[in-house]
Every structure is written in structure tokens, then in C-alpha cells.
Structure 1
Amino acid sequence: MKTLFAGIALLWGCITIVSAQDFYLPVSSKSKTAIASLHRASELYSNIHFKEGKVELDKAMAEDPNFFMAHIYAVQYASKAEKPALIDKTLALDATNLNEAEKIMRGLIVKWHEDSTAKAAETMNALIAAYPETPQALEWASLHSFYTDKNLDGALDYSEKLAKMSPKYAPNYNILGYLYMEKKEMDKAKAAFEKYISLAPKEPNTYDSMAEFYLENKDYAKSAEYYDKAAAMGLPGAKERADKARAMIK
């Protein structure tokens, strides 16, 4: 499934691949329970379990109402209608003890408060400069380049760097697959989706994404086959997509 960064879906961290300390940007919250909930939310969102991810994100903010990074996540996951209120709430939080990553991200929220269409490139460049060895910084830069700034080449550059830094981080290959499809590099797209499946075979979204690859390439039988796999694993909407693909077989 192709993800939309601001409001529909988004791929974030997956703690089954690397430790939270190694993958995630630092947070200023002192609540281990809140941080654990945030990381669970990230893993769930990254694998397109949106309802469950929101539950964990809400738990993180309930446990620590001043958990700045959790509010950053909430803003980025929000629908267009929900976003202004969440931005106001985030900017109202005490910023006294924010770490460098949080200060940088707060800067982006300030920009969005002033202009909802503001680009993220400058913020992402600052984030990577501050945390060059932190995979999540590259992931956020890729996602913002792709979905916020509509900079396909920038997104691809960040995702390819992330693949080198964290070659077993499964969700990045989903983004890579769609980026290569956008560039009409179908062999690379297929390889990326195959890698996604190999690294996360129990996640239904891997098969849904491969189904979309085959749909894009007009192989409707294969598309239906992969949508069926995703549906069998419980992915919402996959059965309907499988039926539509079958209906297109000549």
C-alpha cells in the first residue's frame, strides 16, 4: 500500500530490525512507559496498522502529556482538518528542556503554523546534520521529500542512503519501491518490493504493495494473487482490490 505522509499513512520506525536506541531520534520524555508506547505506535504505523498505532500513540501522550515527540508524530499523522488544532497544542507545550532533535522539529511545526504548505527540506537538512548516524533522520527526510515537498529525487537519495545504513529495515523498501515506480524504473521497484516481503513476510502490507506493482504493470492476475495474500492476512480493503484486479483480466 502506498503511504501518504500527512494525513493518511506513513512509514515510521520498526523496532524489530534495530534497537530503539540505534534507530530513533532521541526524546526528552523521562517516562519509559510513554517512550515504549511511542515506539510500539511507530512499529504499528510503519506496517499499516493504523487503528492500533493510534491507540499506542494516544497512550504515550496520556502517560506523558508533555511528550513533545509524541505530539510531533500526532501532527504528522493528522488529517488536514485535525492538523491546525494539533499544531496549536504542540506549540503550547513547554519547550524549555527540548533536545536538539525536538527543537529542530518544533521549527517545522512553527513553519506549518504560519503556512500549512511550508516545505520541509531545510528542517530535514538540519536534522540529518545533527544526527548523521541516526536512521530515523534519513527516513523522515525521505518521507518529507516524497510527500511534503514532492521532491522525488531527494526522497530517493535519502531512501537509498537509509538502505545502506540499515539494510534490514523493511519499511524503507516499501518507499523505495514506490519511488522507483514513480521514476518508471520497474526492475528496481520489483526488487525493492521483493526485499520488503523477504524482510517482513508476516506483514500483509508487503503483499499489498507488490500487488499494486503488478497492477501498475497491468499484470492483473498476479496483482489479484498478491492482493488475495494481503486479504488473507487481514489487511482492510485488500479483498476489494483483489476483486477489481480480477475484473480487469482479459
Structure 2
Amino acid sequence: MNIKKIIPISLLVFTFTACTELSEDDVREFTINHIENQVGYADAVEGFVNGLSNDLIAWTNPVWRSTPYEYSTEGVDGSAFYEDSIKVNIHDIYIMGNHANVFGTIRFYIDGVTTTYRNFSGIVGQENGELKWQRWIGVDNQNLAQGFLWPSTEIEGGLSAYNEMRNAMMNLEFELAKFISDTLVEKDPEWATAHLGQMQYYWAKQDDLKLKEVMDLALSKCENASRAEEHFIKSYTRDREVGQHELELAMLHAPDDPMIRVWYAWGLEDNKLAIDIIKRAWWRLPEHGGVNNMLGYKYMADGNMEKAKKHFEIFTRANAEVPNGYDSYGDYYIEAGEYEKAKEMFLKAYDLDSNWTVSKEKAERIEKRMNRVNSEE
């Protein structure tokens, strides 16, 4: 082999690679200009189309059960470019030779109002000396659920602590929920739903005087709370009819909230209706302990033991450290006539938390029953 021919070829390859490698500044300028110029109806069409590769693969809002597709510019007439301004915020550009991966956020505006908030990721490549989008994926914030029981507080870390409190409430960990609730009330004395953990604790302990005291205090702080928060607070009453009505109203204003749906379903005598109410919460949160727990009991009450078992299984697998999951699974096994497995589940719940004496008592009753049956044989 002629070594003289190898060297010039190697130099040629190096020169070509060096010339085609993208710069971060060029990619940034292209990204911002191409996106922010998508305004003005038909005036935006030419620039939009010129910035797209003929081989562009796009994935629009993969939060839905969609798939990527080959993008076609046929039919692009500018009618979609109705916003009057667009702002791009680039978070990261990763250069990969003659390609670049771009992470960013786009805000679309009409008269200063945000009409779309989109996070995106795309691959920019060089074709015939021009930069073009070769891959694109975008997710719009408005396609996600917003109908939750959001907390009306501005304290740092408030949302995270609030969610911890609510998870404890839905897992029937009353002491933990009250402890978190006490802490939140202290941190933000004007926050109405910070009292939820306290209210559930006193409701479960049947301390109606203390429950009313805390509820009145929470309601006195509802001036800056949402309608959903106020109705949910009012649902903590011994009057079942009033409680259900308040939960219905709360659900109107926070239709995606799992706690409201589970609490409301718990009070329904119609098991099939209750299941339908909870299914919407399960669809969004299929591993949520409290949601699976209530679905399990409602399916069990409706005679569908097969589906009930699946939800208790999901509960315990996805929330392995939650005692209530095993206690509920134990109730299922009693209903199924599998007493040894029921006993195992109850003891597991008690082993995780010695405060779950009710689980230990259930296991002891099963032990006595099994001993009695064995002695009779």
C-alpha cells in the first residue's frame, strides 16, 4: 500500500470534519431565530420551512400515547402562526461533531398572555451549508392535568411537605400526617390547608371538639385559599351527606386530585360508581398507594376479587414501606379464605410500624381461629 496516499486522505478527512463541526453560537442563533420568527401568519412560512430538514422526524406531545412521525411541510399555510410574539430560553446545547442537541423552553404570547408553554429537545444538523432541524420533540404544559388541590402558600419547600402530609393521610399514617401538619401551620400561620393533617387525625380519633376547633381555624384562613381548598376543609364533618356534598364541590374545582376522589368514593354505597370515580385518579397515578387501596376495597365489595388483588399487589410493590398496604392485603386474603397469607400480611404491617396494633390483633385472631380449627380436627 502506498503510504503517500494515506496521509493526504487522512488530512482531507480531518479538514472536512473540522469544517463541518458546529459551533454553539451558530446553533444558538439558528434556534432562537427560527423559533421566534414563527409569528405573522403567512409571513412566517418561508423561514419556518427553510429551517426544517426533508428528513425531519418529529414527536409532538409524547405525553399522549403517540409515536414519532416523518414531518411534512405540505399544507403549512401560516394559519398556525397566530401568536404575536415568541420567546425562547435555551437551557443546554450539546455539540456532537456536525450535529447539536438543544434543550429549551418556548413561550408563545398573544397580547402579553402566555398561550403555550413548551419544553423541547431537538437535533440540529448541517445540510448543504445550512442549519436545519433533523429531530424534534416538544411537550406542552397545558396538556398536563392542573386540577389538583394545590396549596395556597408561598413558603419554600411548602409543596413538597404538603404532598408528604397528604401521602401520609392517604396511607392512614395519622400521627405522621399530624406531625407534618403541625410543622406547616407553624411555618405559615395563614395557610388554611396546612391544617388537613390535624383535621384527619382528630377525625380518626373521633375527637369532635378538637376537630371543630381546628376546622374553624382553617376556615378562618380561607380568604386567600382556592374554592377547592375551602370545600375540602368543610368536608371534614360527621354529617355524611354534608361531607359528600362538599367533596362534590371540591371535585368540581379540582377534578384530577386523587385525595378528593378517593375520599368521595369511600363515602359512596354504589361500588361501581365509586370505581369509576377512582379510575380517573388511577389513570394518572397508577402506583399511588391510597388510590390502589380504595380501588382494591371497592372491587372486593363489588365481588371482583381478581381485580381487587391486582390493586393490593400494586400498592404493596410500589409502596413497600407503607404498613397500610399490607394490612389491606391481609383483609383481602381473609375475604379470599387464605388465612395463612392474611396473617403474614398483618404481621408484615406490624413489623413495619409497631403502632399498627390493629394489624397485630388481626393476626392474633387468625392464629386463635387456626388453633381452634386444628384442635377440633
Say which of 62, 71, 74 aligns to 2:195. Answer: 71
Match of 1:128 in 2: 251
Instruction: Provide the secondary structure at the position in 1 that maps to 2:151.
Output: coil
1:97 lines up with 2:97 in the alignment: no
Q: Which amino acid aligns with 1:178?
A: Y
Q: Which amino acid aligns with 1:209?
A: S
Distance 1:141 1:77 in 2: 19
Distance change (3 Å), C-alpha of 1:33 and 1:198: closer
Distance change (3 Å), C-alpha of 1:116 and 1:191: same
Distance change (3 Å), C-alpha of 1:22 and 1:207: farther
1:243 lines up with 2:364 in the alignment: yes
Residue 120 of structure 1 contacts residue 145 of structure 1 at CA under 8 Å; is this kept in 2?
Answer: no
Deviations 1:2-61 (A, max 9, x none): xxxxxxxxxxxxxxxxxxx97952122222355443322222233333222211111111
Q: Which deviates more from structure 2 when the two are superposed, residues 123-132 or residues 152-161?
A: 123-132
Match of 1:15 in 2: none
Match of 1:140 in 2: 260
Residue 174 of structure 1 contacts residue 192 of structure 1 at CA under 8 Å; is this kept in 2?
Answer: yes
Say which of 157, 168, 186 aligns to 1:44. Answer: 168
Match of 1:225 in 2: 344
Instruction: Provide the secondary structure at the position in 2 that maps to 1:48.
Output: coil
Q: Which amino acid aligns with 2:199?
A: V
Q: Which amino acid aligns with 1:61?
A: V
Match of 2:82 in 1: none
Q: Which amino acid aligns with 1:220?
A: Y
Match of 1:180 in 2: 299
Q: Relative to total residues, which structure has the larger helix share, 1 or 2?
A: 1
Distance 2:319 2:299 in 1: 20
Higher RCO (C-alpha 8 Å, min separation 6): 1
**Deviation of the 1:72 alpha carbon:** 4.3
Residue 176 of structure 1 contacts residue 189 of structure 1 at CA under 8 Å; is this kept in 2?
Answer: yes
Residue 121 of structure 1 contacts residue 141 of structure 1 at CA under 8 Å; is this kept in 2?
Answer: no
Of structures 1 and 2, the larger Rg is shown by: 2
Residue 168 of structure 2 contacts residue 177 of structure 2 at CA under 8 Å; is this kept in 1?
Answer: yes
Distance 1:240 1:33 in 2: 38
Within-5 A mapping of 1:143-222: 143-147=263-267, 150-222=269-341
Aligned length: 221
Residue 34 of structure 1 contacts residue 59 of structure 1 at CA under 8 Å; is this kept in 2?
Answer: no
Distance change (3 Å), C-alpha of 1:76 and 1:202: closer
Q: Which amino acid aligns with 1:240?
A: E
Distance change (3 Å), C-alpha of 1:105 and 1:44: closer
Deviations 1:142-165 (A, max 9, x none): 312323x54534322211221112
Q: Relative to total residues, which structure has the larger strand share, 1 or 2?
A: 2
Residue 57 of structure 1 contacts residue 70 of structure 1 at CA under 8 Å; is this kept in 2?
Answer: yes
Residue 174 of structure 2 contacts residue 197 of structure 2 at CA under 8 Å; is this kept in 1?
Answer: no
Distance 2:343 2:235 in 1: 41
Q: Which deviates more from structure 2 when the two are superposed, residues 215-224 or residues 56-65?
A: 215-224
Q: Which amino acid aligns with 2:185?
A: M
Q: Which deviates more from structure 2 when the two are superposed, residues 22-31 or residues 154-163?
A: 22-31
Within-5 A mapping of 1:27-38: 27-38=151-162
Distance 2:200 2:326 in 1: 25
Using the size of structure 1 for normalisation, the TM-score is 0.75
Residue 292 of structure 2 contacts residue 314 of structure 2 at CA under 8 Å; is this kept in 1?
Answer: yes
Match of 1:16 in 2: none
Distance 1:217 1:154 in 2: 23
Instruction: Provide the secondary structure at the position in 2 that maps to 1:66.
Output: coil
Identity %: 22
Instruction: Provide the secondary structure at the position in 1 that maps to 2:329.
Output: helix
Q: Which amino acid aligns with 1:194?
A: E
Q: Which amino acid aligns with 2:364?
A: D
Using the size of structure 2 for normalisation, the TM-score is 0.52
Distance change (3 Å), C-alpha of 1:106 and 1:187: closer
Unmatched tracts of structure 2, length 5 or more = 1-144
1:119 lines up with 2:242 in the alignment: yes
Instruction: Provide the secondary structure at the position in 2 that maps to 1:96.
Output: helix
Within-5 A mapping of 1:6-45: 24-45=148-169
Distance change (3 Å), C-alpha of 1:108 and 1:203: closer
Residue 34 of structure 1 contacts residue 63 of structure 1 at CA under 8 Å; is this kept in 2?
Answer: no
1:83 lines up with 2:211 in the alignment: yes
Match of 1:61 in 2: 185
Distance change (3 Å), C-alpha of 1:140 and 1:106: closer
